[in-house]
Chains A and B, each alone.
Chain A
Amino acid sequence: MSVAREEHNFEPLIVAFCCNWCSYAGGDLAGTSRMSYPPNARVIRVPCSSRVSPNFILRAFQRGADGVLVAGCHPGDCHYITGNYHARRRLSILRRFLGFMGVEPERFEVHWISASEGGKFAEVMTEMPEKIRALGPNRKLRDAR
């Protein structure tokens, strides 16, 4: 049941790790506000952006994700006080490293989305697929079997 993956009619699949307290709640707000965005991203709820291991991100690419998003509380507003500060360092290093490996940076993004930013959630969910659509399906790091 995956998103259509034919090259000519390509719809990117995006795995979005959203922290429970801010970004997931921001997604809920986008819903309750009846905002509209394309269905490319599927959200995996995590307690905090600091829970997102690079292993999960690589696993998503391996299993066929065309893009991965990590969304957390704005720096300074972490529900767990400092989690997103750790995430910011970890994921900055990972993003540059994936770029070094040849993965286009557009395919791995981190955004800070607060519980009150339903609009921003919808915006990110709209813009990220657009950018990835332009790049085409991801074959890098993908399990070819």
Chain B
Amino acid sequence: MKNLQDTIREIAAQSLARGEVELVIGWEKGDLWWQSYPAFIEEEKEADRLIWDPLCVPNLSRYLLQELSEMDEKKIALFVKGCDALAFNQLLQDNRTVRERVVLYGIPCDGLVDPSKLEREGLDRDLQEVERDGEELVLKAAAGEEKRVPAKDYLYDKCLTCRYPNPVAYDQMLGETVPVEPEERFTGVRKLEELDYEDRFSYWAEQFSRCIRCFACRNVCPACSCIKCVFDLQEPRWLGKATEPSENAFYHIIRAYHVAGRCVDCGECSRVCPVDIPLQELNRKIILDINELYGEYDAGVDPEQEAPLITYKTDDPAAFTES
């Protein structure tokens, strides 16, 4: 049986050769074992740069924003994991991508490796390559040594709670679908809700105090696809430039609010935060409330479904003292 990586390379080469697409977006290896980066392949002979390994976490859908606007009317092939497909659908719902111009190759994903979990246990020493073999990870060191560890212990937390590992949108699915066995995703939110208001505030004040306003959370987010962000406006000046606590809180609250009903819960915001603010919990709190008050809704699953915050029912419940 061919492995997935070979299939990916083959498909990329073929579709470029046949002129079906002008660009293929996939992943390629960086210099270090944990670096699986977006790759932009325009020529058939470059297709062998493409890889698939358990570190291919970057969401490729967002790169369409740039590429589609540059390549007027040209077609692009894109490899999508479950979360990437949700992201793609969200971009579609936001009119930020064009379905006809994108060929989606779906990759069922059984979870990706969180390098920090390996580092924490010192498993990154001399590491050169990580492979997935069923329920195990194969850690290959420089000297050809191999070590096997249970995969589940080293996957991203967000992957453990993933509800859509199999892409919901694709033109062609590559590989077998994987079983869907998510852990409860609202545990973190519920834990925070056990705190009283003072402690909740202190918790978030401490988290936000670390924010350096690098905007990585915004830049990676498939729901933050505005051409010009409201926070970058000079006039009106919604948000001060200082990393003052209230400004930081303002930024994170409004950012979460802006993706309310549109967040696909891919968890990329938390992953890319250089100061480890658990941003996904903010989004999940809003998802939980929307589900509770206005009915279950999974952003990105069906781009035709109306997002919960742009519609209403006349008998909607309210969360005010007066209902």
Q: Check: A5 CB closer than 8 A to any chain B CB.
A: no
A97: CB under 8 A from chain B?
Answer: yes
Across the interface, do B314 and A97 meet the contact criterion of CB distance under 8 Å?
A: no
Overall SS of chain A's interface: helix
| B246 touches A (CB below 8 Å) | yes
**Cβ of A145: which chain B residues have Cβ within 8 Å of it?**
244
Per the bound structure, the CA–CA distance linking A105 and B200 in Å amounts to 13
A141 and B246 contacting across the interface, CB-CB below 8 Å: yes
Q: CB distance A92 to B246 under 8 Å? A: no
Collect the chain A residues with CB atoms within 8 Å of residue B308's CB: 89
- A112 and B321 alpha carbons, distance in the complex (Å): 11
B249, B293, B314, B316 — which one has the most chain A CB atoms within 10 A of its CB? B249
> In the complex the two chains form, what is the Cα distance from A95 to B251 in whole Å?
17
Residue of B nearest to A76 (CB): B314
- List chain A residues, Cβ under 8 A from B317: 92
Q: How far is the CA of A14 from the CA of B263 in the complex (A)?
A: 32
Contacting A at CB under 8 A, from B151-202, are 189, 192-193, 197-202
The answer to whether B197 and A104 have CB atoms under 8 Å apart is yes
On whether A54 and B199 interact (CB within 8 A), knowing A89-B308, A92-B318, A111-B320, the answer reads no
Tally A residues with Cβ within 8 Å of B: 40
| B290 engages A93 (CB within 8 Å) | yes
Least CB distance, B19 to chain A, in whole angstroms? 47
Shortest distance from the beta carbon of B252 to any chain A beta carbon, whole Å: 9
Partner of A102, one of B200, B244, B293, B321: B200
Q: Is the CB of B199 within 8 A of A96?
A: no
B119 interface residue per 8 A CB criterion: no
User: Which of B8-16, B44-52, B254-262 lies at the binding interface?
Assistant: B254-262
Chain B interface size range: 35 or more
**Segment with Cβ contacts to B, from A20-28, A29-37, A39-47, A80-88:** A80-88
Min C-beta distance of B130 to chain A, whole Å: 36
Q: Does B63 contact A (CB under 8 A)?
A: no
CB proximity to B under 8 Å, residues A48-86: 54-55, 58-59, 61-62, 75-76, 82, 85-86
CB B114 to nearest CB in A, in angstroms, measures 25
Q: How far is the CA of A103 from the CA of B257 in the complex (A)?
A: 16
Which residues of the partner chain B approach A104 to less than 8 Å between Cβ atoms? 197
Is A141 within 8 A of B320, CB to CB? no
Scan residues 265-323 of chain B and give those whose CB is less than 8 A from a CB of chain A: 282, 285-286, 289-290, 293-294, 308-310, 312-314, 316-322
Interface status of B245 (Cβ within 8 A of chain A): yes
A residues within 8 A CB of B215?
none
Inside 8 A of A101's CB, which chain B residues have their CB? Answer: 200-201, 204, 249, 253
16 A-B pairs with C-beta separation under 8 A: A58-B250, A58-B254, A75-B314, A86-B309, A86-B312, A90-B309, A92-B320, A93-B286, A94-B257, A95-B319, A97-B256, A101-B201, A102-B200, A143-B244, A143-B246, A145-B244
Given contacts A59-B238, A93-B290, 7 further A-B pairs with CB under 8 A are: A85-B313, A86-B312, A97-B285, A97-B286, A99-B197, A100-B189, A103-B197
Interface set of A (CB-CB < 8 Å, partner B): 54-55, 58-59, 61-62, 75-76, 82, 85-86, 88-106, 109-112, 140-145
